[in-house]
Amino acid sequence: MALWTLLVWLAVGAVAGILARKIMGGASPFGLIGDAILGLAGGVVGGYLMALAGLGNTAGGLIATIVTATIGAVILVWLTRFLKK
């Protein structure tokens, strides 16, 4: 994997994680690194769910990738809050 690709993935993950925290509200206990990890994991979850919905092979570019990762990250935030209760 090229260094450039890794940096783009980290940037997308960070943006998605920050957006998910803003959407769901609450404090970010792990800071920017935790938000980036949450966004990267959200990208995996969002990509899987989009593929299940038949929307996985669309060429939406960077914005679509950020939206997909944010949706997945929001789902992960909601799931962790639900399981903590």
pLDDT in tens, 18-59: 888 889 887 766 677 777 788 888 888 888 888 788 776 556
Question: Radius of gyration of the chain from Cα atoms?
Answer: 13
Looking at every residue in the chain, the average pLDDT score rounds to: 80
Has residue 65 got a pLDDT over 70?
A: yes
Q: Is the dihedral of CA 35, 37, 40, 43 positive or negative?
A: negative
Q: Which of 42, 51, 48 is nearest to 19 (CA)?
A: 42
Distance CA(45)–CA(47), nearest Å, equals 5
Reported pTM: 0.78
Question: What are the sequence ranges of the domains in the chain?
Answer: 10-84
Longest pairwise C-alpha distance within the chain: 41
Number of Cβ within a 10 Å radius of residue 85: 4
pLDDT at 5: 75
Comparing 15 with 57, the larger pLDDT belongs to 15
pLDDT at 56: 62
